[in-house]
Structure 1
Amino acid sequence: MTEPASARIAADLRARISDGELAPGDRVPSTRELTRRFGVAMATATKALTTLRQEGLVRSVRGVGTVVAERSRTPHPRATAPGPAADRIVDTAIRIADAEGLATMSMRRVGAELGIATMSLYQHVASKDDLLLMMIDRAFGEELLPAGPPESARAALGTSARTQWSCYRRHPWLAQAMSLTRPQPVASVLAHTEYVLTALDGLGLDTTEAFNVQIMLVSYVRGIAINLETEAQAEAESGMDNDEWIRAHTDPLKSLTAGGNFPMFERVTALDDFDFDLDALFELGLTSILDGLTTRLTHP
């Protein structure tokens, strides 16, 4: 039996909303636009929008038209308990994001890679947001934290930070996907919080102070890692890696220091062997943080 035209239109708009192409507050195509695009009667286009309105995906705004409704951020249960089919979807989404960046990963792209219709994905993954939660959970779950108690708080913080860094290194998109101020409910990420809080327990910090230490650590690692995908994109667009780019732009930097206003930085531009190494920068910052925390915990 042929699918009704109104259902096809509703499915198309539903997919665009789930993909984020149409974000909350965005105006959706009017019935007039839909009639032109799909070659249907006004009544058919109206029925499609009515269906989405009944599902809570869109709402009418006086003087504006029909817009995408605000959606709940509560994760769908399937986001935390994927089955075999969902596993394939997550694997494919991660492979796309690893190779081309998070911006290229959409439900439509994943469906195309799997050779199935986009709407079929929603039988296993509730939305693109839920798929992203699954991807984050899978990425952070690839490296497990030690099962036994850490030998010290410093060791625990170092282990957690380096494990996170390794995950970000393996998946450059991951830092872009994470949020510090609106943390995602992901079990493999929460494991790091539990691990660090357990190590800090009994060392004189109250719960708020200990949690702030964990937040600072997570923020530091993510702050360095955020450059991984940015650099990968820049390299793909320019055809130059970081070292090649710096060499190509040395002369403009030297011209800024020629007047003697930046004598210390002039010494940097004179270096022939400076290696901008994110791994080394990460370790330098982490060691400094751990040194400071160790001193604080030992001498409150």
Structure 2
Amino acid sequence: MTIEYSGKGDPARSLALLWRTSERTSRKGKPDLNVDRIVRAAIEVADAEGLQALSMRRVAERLGVGTMSLYTYVPGKPELLDVMLDTVYGETARPEEVPGGWRGRLEVIARENWQLYLRHPWLLQVAASRPVLGPNVTAKYDYELRAVDGIGLTDVEMDSVITLVAGFVHGTARGAVEAAQAESRTGLSDEQWWAAHAPFFSRIADVERFPTAARVGQATGEALGAAYSAEHAFEFGLQRVLDGIEALVSGRAS
């Protein structure tokens, strides 16, 4: 899997693009090409073909323009990637009124991030330890922090809680994307794969040697209809993460 890193571009140029402080107009004076249109085309390429297919040339082809014309608006691919990230992070809903207190708010945040990864699987190919300091990323972080503000946590704990939830969603989303891509990459659905391998499993399965694995594996397969369910992993794991945070919050109150 191709891994890209956010924040690789020139910081001054990236920030100017992210905050649109120095956007240039078309040389012809027509609004037929601008940063927003270029970024949207780049996101469409990444959504459809994966991050490995993203290049200035490929984006230009999608827009039907010459590659060099993009450089009038975007310095290069690293800066473009930063703006792509900030743009898609702006898609998450941020309702102010959410039932269920802080737990309900964190659940909404987790589900919004989960859906974001499913819409844009290429996000999982971007290492974002160096955050993109754009308006949407900043607004998203501020909103998520406010979900746990005033519940008895320190500022560092607030940040850690958001990091914990985000990390859980990132991991389960990776499993969901990989499971979804397995069929298209291998040409076999899960049902077809298991059917093809079942005769061999029955030969090597040793219930006496691996009794716990046999019992649990059978129960899981019957309950989920498969050996693995990304949706179940997300739903079960999210509640356990929230349980852990609740224990932390309750400990502060006692």
Q: Which bin holds the TM-score, normalised by the shorter protein?
A: 0.7 to 0.9
Task: Determine helix, strand or coil for the equivalent of 1:222.
Answer: helix
CA spacing shift, 1:255–1:237, aligned 2, 3 Å: same
1:274 aligns with one of 225, 233, 236: 225
Give the conservation status (yes or no) of the 8 Å contact 1:172–1:228: no
Q: CA deviation at 1:156?
A: 1.4
- Of residues 183, 190, 198, the one that matches 2:138 is 190
Corresponding residue of 2:16: 77
Structure 1 distance, partners of 2:66, 2:77, is: 15
Q: Secondary structure at the match of 1:200?
A: coil
Distance 2:55 2:200 in 1: 40
Could you state the TM-score of these two structures normalised by the residue count of structure 2?
0.78
1:285 and 2:204 correspond: no
Q: How many residues align?
A: 232
Contact 1:153/1:196 (8 A) holds in 2: no
Larger Rg: 1
Contact 1:111 1:121 survives alignment (8 Å): yes
Aligned residue number for residue 212 of structure 1: 160
CA contact (8 A) 2:118 2:177 kept: no
- Give runs of aligned pairs for residues 10-49 of structure 1, distance below 5 A: none
Q: Which residue of 2 aligns with 1:140?
A: 89
Give unpaired runs (5+ residues) of structure 2: 25-32
Secondary structure of the 2:121 match is coil
Residue equivalent to 1:170: 119
Percent same amino acid among aligned pairs? 35
Deviations 1:18-49 (A, max 9, x none): xx9xx9xxxxxxxxxxxxxxxxxxxxxxxxxx
Q: CA deviation at 1:85?
A: 1.7
User: Contact 1:178 / 1:184 at 8 angstroms: preserved in 2?
Assistant: no
Amino acid of the structure 2 residue aligned with 1:98? D
Structure 2: distance between partners of 1:211 and 1:102: 29
Please point out which of 69, 86, 107 is paired with 1:158. 107
Is 1:105 the counterpart of 2:54 in the alignment?
A: yes
TM (norm. structure 1) is 0.67
Kindly indicate whether structure 1 or structure 2 has the higher relative contact order, using CA contacts under 8 Å at least 6 residues apart. Answer: 2
Distance 1:129 1:228 in 2: 27
Question: Which residue in the other structure is 2:209 paired with?
Answer: 261
Distance (Å, rounded) in 2 between the aligned partners of 1:122 and 1:175: 26
1:176-218 Cα distance to aligned partner (Å, 9 max, x none): 2252x33332433333322232232222221111111111111
Q: 2:66 — aligned with what?
A: 117
Gaps of 5+ in 1: 1-19, 24-69
Backbone CA RMSD of aligned residues: 2.9
CA distance in 2: counterparts of 1:269 and 1:109, whole angstroms: 45
